[in-house]
Amino acid sequence: MFEFGRDLRKLFAQARDSDDLSWLELISADLVRVEARQQSIDAGRVSCAHPFEAYLRAGALWREHTRRTGLGSSLERAHQSAADAARAAGSDDQTARAAIEAAATGMLQFDLCGGARHLTRALGEIAALGALRRAETTCAATVVHARLRAREARLSGDPGDLLDAAALLDVALHGLTPDNSPIADDVRLDRAGLALEAGVARRDARLLDQAGRDLRSIVEGSTPEYRPLTRAKALTLCGAGMKALAELAGDAEAMQQGQAMFEAAADEFTPDHSPLDWVAIQIVRSDPASSLSSLALAQALSEGSGLILGALARERRFAREAALAEADGDRKTLSTLAARLRGRLTDQSGHETPLDWAADQIAMAHVHLALGRLSGHQATGIGMSLVEAATTARELGAPALAARAEALMDTRAARA
């Protein structure tokens, strides 16, 4: 037993020193922070033999902690690690790799908080690299550039832009070896997401099949024992795609299958292991599977840092509270919810970012529509607020939140 435990510790120590950081999926967010902090300390020691590589590794660890928790302090440390790596660079290639790390951190900041300026700055850092000598560095730059372009395409929402971005991801994927690395899985997830969006928009079976192949490959290659987070991401995207197709076809059985995929994704890990991954699953499965307590926890885990997920979780929680109160015919609770939201909208200090304001406007619309249905009168005065909320959300890179506002506009128009 002792030898077995010692061998396991030895393997884990070896994994810590490798370039493949997939082992991080096995440890909690708190332990990722411990690893990142220790790596930053080691990189800053005068005795550090290879400070450039050490700072790059610290940056990757801080990015993973930021991705899971959304903490602004961890994001700042990821940016700082990239800057430290640039200062420690001893060659043009190392300078380029530090710039690629900075661009990857900017991409993560956009994913978490929106803001097209983060994409513009990251793309500028990649564009400034010029010709690169090492094939490995060229491949890394190609991957980050393709993933940034994919996010630009999703902002535009144009199916043609989505397909062009998917082609760039194809090129990036072909340059990766081995093709089952965590980076390759990230590229496949991006490509699958683009293919799903374009496929649903165009009702193109070929694109939907491509997305299905990518996601099936990731699910089959990501075992719950070693890659729980990657597997959960793929299952969540599968569920989202299945539900989108089910809504188009009016297929109740397919809708249930999509919901089952969300449930399977939620079972892969606990909230403390990766808070934001857990929050994302609760948001997409929130109608009607998530309980109010789950949505309240999702909001608590994601608010306070200006996160897109935080705004979505807040909107979903209020929508759920309003739906439950309406089902009970409880006008008093709905009036209380309206008063709470009105107070926040009046006192702008309660909003971390414009996304929080947009989420509250959409939540207020849910409450007013519910009150209108109970009273038999059409809700008034919410149309322009929804338009402004949708515009704000789209401009800041939160199309899912914008879609919530637009769906309510459609509902209101249908009842008019």
- Dump pLDDT digits (tens) for 131-172: 888 999 999 999 999 999 999 998 888 888 988 999 999 999
Q: Where are the domains of the chain?
A: 1-133, 289-416
pLDDT tens figures, 350-366: 667 899 999 999 999 99
Joined together, the tokens standing for residue 193 give 């997401």
Dist CA 313 CA 300 (whole Å): 9
Q: Work out the pLDDT band at 51, boundaries 50, 70, 90.
A: very high
Residues 6+ apart with CB under 8 A from 23: 12, 15, 16
Joined together, the tokens standing for residue 365 give 């619309």
What is the Rg, in whole angstroms, of the alpha carbon atoms belonging to the chain? 23
pTM attached to this predicted model: 0.91
Joined together, the tokens standing for residue 235 give 């299952």
Joined together, the tokens standing for residue 299 give 């909001």
Residues 6+ apart with CB under 8 A from 153: 161, 162, 164, 165, 194
Q: Is 306 left (phi over 0), alpha (psi -120 to 50) or beta?
A: left
Helix, strand, coil percentages in the chain from 3-state DSSP, rounded to 5 = 80, 0, 20
Dist CA 281 CA 271 (whole Å): 10
Amino acid 177: pLDDT: 75
Joined together, the tokens standing for residue 216 give 């099936």
Dist CA 303 CA 300 (whole Å): 6
Residue 328 has pLDDT above 50, yes or no: yes
68-72, 331-335, 386-390, 409-413: least confident range: 409-413
DSSP class of residue 11?
Answer: H
Dist CA 6 CA 11 (whole Å): 9
Q: Which residues of 150-184 are buried (b: 16+ CB within 10 A; e: fewer)?
A: bbbbbbeeebebbbebbebbeebbebbeeeeebbb
pLDDT tens figures, 258-274: 889 998 999 999 999 99
